[in-house]
Amino acid sequence: MIPATLPATLDASLRTLTAHRDAWLAVPTTEKVGHLRRVMARFLEVSDDLVADALVAKGLDASYAGEDWVSGPISFLRTCRFLAETLDAIVRTGRVPVDDAAIGAGPDGRVTVDVMPGDRWDRLQYRGWTARVWMEPGIPLAEARQHLGSIYTKPETATAAVAAVLGAGNVASIAALDLVHKLFVEGHVAIVKFSPVNAYIGPHIEHAFAPLVDAGFVRFAYGGAEVGEFLVGHPLVDEVHITGSEHTHDLIVFGSGHEGAERKKRNAPRFDKRITSELGNVSPVVVVPGSWSRRAIEWQARHVATQVVQNAGYNCNAAKAMVISSRWRQRDEFIEALAGAMASRPPRRAYYPGSEARYERALAGAATVRALGPRGDGFLPPTILEGFSTDVEAAAFTEEAFCQLIAVVDLPESVPSRFLAAAVEFCNDRLRGSLNATILVDSRTAAAPETGVARAADELRYGSVGINVWAAAAFPLGVTPWGAYPGHRLNDVESGIGFVHNARLIDRPQKTVIRAPFIMFPTPPWSVFHRRSAEALRAAARFEADPGPGRFAALLGPALRP
């Protein structure tokens, strides 16, 4: 147990950061790239121990390590690698390394930027994948380049600041990547407070950033709400970044009790500081009716099951609502395949605080509760809830359950175009949050212009949309900005305000749309059904730290033998 950081130490840390914030802003870009690459190398040094500690904390054996490799080291190293490449290119050429041909405009004039494949290795690793970032409306195509590069192409926009980053307790890379964003994208020094749930990551992250700590640009803190309260209210903290639940955000920003409720009603935060956030989401999976082969049903059932049970469901981007046609002739077959896939997974400890209460609240309003495993002694089963229509009031629609649970929502439309239009309206208007949404559609149905898959992806008001791939992929890919759809207010924050990761430095992203083949072959190692995922993803982390033919071959062997 790491003791809480004392107020005197916190105060000294903030004084140090304040004394160095102007110096960090003045560090030449080439030196910043050097710092970033040293952080990457040091992060890789502790990656094995970081993953091992995560398994112990979650009560898991080594067969589950792949989950923490992909959400931890791979996400961190890949994002940093592409960010370093972007900064290098700006030094050499004065611009972000995105080809002119990759910048275009959609039918409504919004600027788009194709960011994936990010390099030649992506073409091998992610065959058939593409990712396109939409900029916010109002940016003329002729001016698109002016909105790439952040402070590195527009130094006049840079400001010196001290940021307090309140880390998440579920995924090991979140706090570290938020720190990278503050330092290397926004140019701000920062103190990171680790969540008590996964404070074990702290020493490893401290090792990675030790040179920047020694230089006075970074500090770390431990403890619970009282430490966070001290930091966000401290006069030397200029801005705050929060990762967690919407409820936690509101407690921090507005306070508790009657006074907090009144402040929230008036949108009157307790402190006058810039506040950004990445919060929860009732993440939908939209299953478009079509004619699916048995192989496709089995593949997509495992795909959705992975979205529900990975990390025991403790992901802000985990699938929580499945929108499906009640008139699709293969509806029951698909749900049975999903239930079978979820039931095949071994029981997992419900390690995240509050799981039991959230689980119970989510059950309200469900006509059928299918618990697919044992419950009790700290375990919650993977669960499918059925009996929801789009016009009911349900806790499963308004609160992220944050456990292994998915609610099935039936739409009466059987025509793909009508179903998809109704599903988009439901997701936008009835489900809480705007972080990520996934569409599953077979190739023949998707190819029919009248189906409107591109239109649906455009109209979904989510920061990341995946077509035939879990939209959570936008988190580890790095070149894809990660955050809520823009437009939320502090007192109605839903999934948050602002974007992180964003290695291509797109200044005003609105959303990312990722496309992948309907059936991926072989099974990708991030699937919970890949038997050699730990070996493959450990090798993938080493590859992302320093790509090359030898390291690519090392990951390819286990990846191709699922």
Go through the chain and tell me how many residues it has.
562
- Rounded to the nearest 5 percent, the helix, strand and coil shares of the chain are 50, 20, 35
Cα 96–Cα 97–Cα 98 angle in degrees, nearest 5: 95
pLDDT at residue 317, rounded to an integer: 97
pLDDT at 362 over 90: yes
Give the model confidence (pLDDT) of 113-147 as tens digits. Answer: 999 999 999 999 999 999 999 999 999 999 999 99
pLDDT at 1 over 90: no
107 against 549, higher pLDDT: 549
- pLDDT-derived band at 365, boundaries 50, 70, 90: confident
For 256-342, where are the E strands, in sequence order? 274-278, 283-287, 319-325
- pLDDT-derived band at 107, boundaries 50, 70, 90: confident
pLDDT at 264 over 90: yes
Partners of residue 436 on adjacent β-strands:
464
Q: Distance of CA 279 to CAs 23, 162, 308, 437, Å? A: 32, 22, 18, 15
pLDDT at residue 162, rounded to an integer: 98
pLDDT at residue 148, rounded to an integer: 98
Q: What percent of the chain has pLDDT over 90?
A: 98
- pLDDT-derived band at 513, boundaries 50, 70, 90: very high
- Within 13 A of 113's CA, how many CA atoms are on the CB side? 32
Sorted by where each starts, the structural domains of the chain and their CATH numbers stand as: 7-114+145-244 (3.40.605.10), 283-462 (3.40.309.10), 531-562 (no CATH)
Q: Name every residue whose Cβ is closer than 8 Å to that of residue 196 and which is 6 or more positions away in sequence.
A: 169, 222, 223, 224
pLDDT at residue 119, rounded to an integer: 96
Cα 227–Cα 190–Cα 47 angle in degrees, nearest 5: 90
pLDDT at residue 9, rounded to an integer: 98
pLDDT at 385 over 90: yes
Mean pLDDT for the stretch of residues 50-57: 98
Residues 250, 268: Cα–Cα separation, whole Å: 11
Compute the mean pLDDT over every residue in the chain, rounded to the nearest whole number: 97
Please say whether the beta carbons of 442 and 290 come within 8 A.
Answer: yes
Give the model confidence (pLDDT) of 224-243 as tens digits. Answer: 999 999 999 999 999 999 99
pLDDT at residue 97, rounded to an integer: 98
pLDDT at 480 over 90: yes
Give the model confidence (pLDDT) of 157-214 as tens digits. Answer: 999 999 999 999 999 999 999 999 999 999 999 999 999 999 999 999 999 999 999 9
Q: What percent of the chain has pLDDT over 70?
A: 100
- pLDDT-derived band at 562, boundaries 50, 70, 90: confident
- Within 13 A of 61's CA, how many CA atoms are on the CB side? 3
pLDDT at residue 230, rounded to an integer: 98
Helix (H, G, I), strand (E, B) or coil at 461: coil
- pLDDT-derived band at 427, boundaries 50, 70, 90: very high
Give the model confidence (pLDDT) of 388-402 as tens digits. Answer: 999 999 999 999 999
